[in-house]
Structure formats: C-alpha cells, structure tokens
C-alpha cells in the first residue's frame, strides 16, 4: 500500500513542463504538415503582398521589414486557437488542472511547444522572404535576430488570449481582437530594429526592448495562463 501513501508535498516543476512539451511536439510531429503550415502561410502571404500594393521595387524595399513582421504576426495569430482548443474539448485540460505539477509549469510547456512549432520556424524562414524584398545578408541577420527575440512575446500574449477565450464562440476572431492591439508594439519595435539597422542607426535599443518584453513575459505568462485556464474550467 505504500504506493498510495500520502505523497510528499514536493514541488516539482520540470517534469510537468517536460511532459507537456514532449507531448505537444510529438503531436506536431505526428501531423508533420502542421509544423510546416505557419511557415508556408508566412511565405505565401509575404509573396502575395506585392499584389496588393503593386510591385514597385522601391516601395517594397521600404516596407520589407514591416511586411515580414506583419506576416509573421498573422501566421502566429492563425495558429493561436489550436493551442488549447483541443485539450479543452477532450477534457485533457481538466486533467492538467488535476496533475501532480503546478498548472503554471504545464502552461509553460504548452507555451514552449507553441513557440518551437511557430515562432522558431518563422524566424528561421524569414531570410527567404527578406530576399524577395531585396534585403542584404547583414540586414537579414538583424531580421532573424529581431524575430528570435520578439516572437516569444507573440506566443505568450497569444497563449493568454487563447486561454481566456476558451469556450467562447467565434474564438478565432475573438483572439484576434484581443491580441492584435498588443501585437502592434512588438511589430513596431521588431520592424524598427531592422529599419534602423538598414538606415545605419543604432538598432540595439529596439532589440533590448523586445528582449525585456520576452524576459518579463517568461516570468509572468505561465501564471497568467494557468489562472485563465482555471477560470475556463470552473
């Protein structure tokens, strides 16, 4: 009967984090196409963009960084509803709330998985698109850097919105509404970094701001998401 003795009130975070992360990555890998989807969407929208404003190369070069960032935001946006929706529908979320680990650790795992399957691949494909807008190699480097530093913020804000809107009808649009205003500053600083670099001005300030956002988010987001999940379950 010792297997059912009172568990020590241990405070383990990592195993819960890892379990969820592993599972979500496994799920993504199961439907491999899924990992590719944000990237394909990203490339597609960014390539189609010139259609909207006409293919004036000078204009394109001017808006390049902004477009890449905006398309990245859109791709992220579209991927948000699926962070929690399925776990909610099939009852896994309840089980997570009852898990042996703090719900915040689990939320952290889901966040990490989301970034690894969206933010990271998006950041790494950005140069391809930058090329189309005529960026040179160093600028592309800054673009990737800005995305790597900034995209976790997108995942974090998005996860909060996704958790808050659980069970609401028309979730995907609701998320967009909540999230877009918050994404705007990220885009401004992210694109700003690239543009400053292109203009030969110091771009460190922009990147520093993004980095600060990411770090602050890392500390706070898991708890906010966990709270939002508890609300959704009640």
Partner 1 sequence: MLFKYASPASFYPLAGKLAPVFAVIALVLTAVGLYQGFIIAPTDFQQGEVYRIIFIHVPSAWMGMFIYLVMAMYACLALVFNTRLSAMMMQALAPTGAIMTAIALWTGALWGKPTWGTYWAWDARMTSTLFLLFLYFGYMALDNAIEDRRRADKAGALLVLVGVVNVPIIYFSVRWWNTLHQGATVVPGSSKMADTMLAAMMVMTFAMWAYAIAVALWRVRGIILEREKNTAWVQELLDRP
Partner 2 sequence: MLSAAGLTCQRGDAVLFRDLGLELAAGEALLVRGPNGSGKTSLLRILAGIAAPAAGEVRWRASPDRAARQLETAYQGHTAPLKDELTVVENLDFALALDGAPKSRADILDAVQEVGLASRRNLPARHLSQGQRRRVGLARLVLARRRLWLLDEPATALDAAGLTLFCDVLDRHLAQGGLAVLSTHQPLPLAHPARELNL
Partner 3 sequence: MKPRHKRFVWIAAGLAVLGVAVGLVLKAFNSNLVFFYTPTQVANKEVPQGKPFRLGGLVTAGSVQRDSNGLTVRFSVTDTAKSVPVSYTGILPDLFKEGKGVVAQGRVGADGVFTASEVLAKHDENYMAPEAAEALRKAGHPIKGEMFAGEKPVVTQQPSASSPPSPAPAPAGAKP
Query: Which residues of the chain form contacts with its own copies (CB under 8 A)?
Result: 31, 33-34, 37-38, 40-41, 44-45, 48, 51-54, 59, 62-63, 66-67, 69-70, 74-75, 77-79, 81-82, 86, 89, 169-174, 176-177, 180-181, 184, 187-188, 191
Task: Give 2's DSSP letter.
Answer: G
> Site size for partner 3, by CB under 8 A?
28
Q: Which tokens hold the place of 94?
A: 């309840």
**What string of DSSP letters covers 208-232?**
HHHHHHHHHHHHHHHHHHHHHHHHH
The footprint of partner 3 on residues 36-95 (CB under 8 A) is 62
Phi-psi region of 7 (alpha: psi -120 to 50; beta: other; left: phi over 0): beta
Q: Which does 164 bind (CB under 5 to 8 A by kind): partner 3, partner 2, partner 1, none?
A: partner 1
3-state secondary structure (DSSP) of residue 178: helix
Q: Which tokens hold the place of 138?
A: 């160093």
Give 7 or 181: the residue with its C-beta nearer to its own copies. 181
3-state secondary structure (DSSP) of residue 32: helix
Compute the least distance from the CB of residue 75 to partner 3, in Å: 26
Q: Which does 53 bind (CB under 5 to 8 A by kind): partner 3, partner 2, partner 1, none?
A: none
- Which of the stretches 112-120, 127-135, 157-165, 191-199 binds partner 3 when contact is defined by CB under 8 A? 191-199
Q: Which does 77 bind (CB under 5 to 8 A by kind): partner 1, partner 2, partner 3, none?
A: none
- Give the Cα separation of 116 and 99 in Å (integer): 23
Which helix (H) or strand (E) segment holds residue 113: the answer is helix 103-114
The end-to-end CA distance of the chain, in Å, is 33
Binding site for partner 3 (CB under 8 A): 8-13, 62, 189, 192, 195-196, 198-202, 204-206, 208-209, 211-213, 215-216, 218-219
């Amino acid at each position: 009967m010792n297997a059912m003795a009172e568990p020590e009130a241990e405070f383990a975070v990592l195993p819960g984090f890892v379990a969820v992360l592993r599972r979500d990555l496994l799920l993504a890998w199961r439907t491999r196409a899924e990992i590719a989807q944000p990237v394909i969407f990203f490339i597609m929208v960014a390539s189609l963009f010139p259609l909207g404003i006409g293919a004036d190369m000078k204009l394109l070069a001017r808006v390049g960084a902004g477009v890449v960032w905006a398309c990245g935001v859109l791709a992220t946006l579209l991927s948000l509803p699926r962070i929690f929706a399925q776990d909610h529908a099939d009852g896994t979320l309840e089980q997570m709330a009852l898990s042996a680990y703090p719900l915040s650790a689990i939320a952290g795992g889901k966040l990490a998985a989301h970034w690894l399957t969206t933010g990271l691949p998006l950041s790494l494909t950005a140069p391809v698109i930058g090329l189309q807008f005529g960026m040179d190699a160093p600028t592309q480097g800054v673009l990737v850097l800005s995305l790597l530093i900034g995209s976790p913020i997108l995942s974090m804000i998005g996860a909060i919105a996704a958790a808050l809107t659980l069970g609401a009808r028309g979730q995907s649009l609701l998320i967009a509404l909540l999230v877009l205003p918050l994404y705007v500053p990220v885009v401004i600083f992210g694109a700003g970094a690239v543009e400053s670099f292109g203009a030969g001005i110091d771009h460190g300030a922009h990147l520093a701001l993004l980095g600060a956002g990411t770090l602050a988010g890392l500390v706070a987001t898991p708890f906010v998401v966990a709270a939002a999940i508890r609300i959704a379950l009640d």
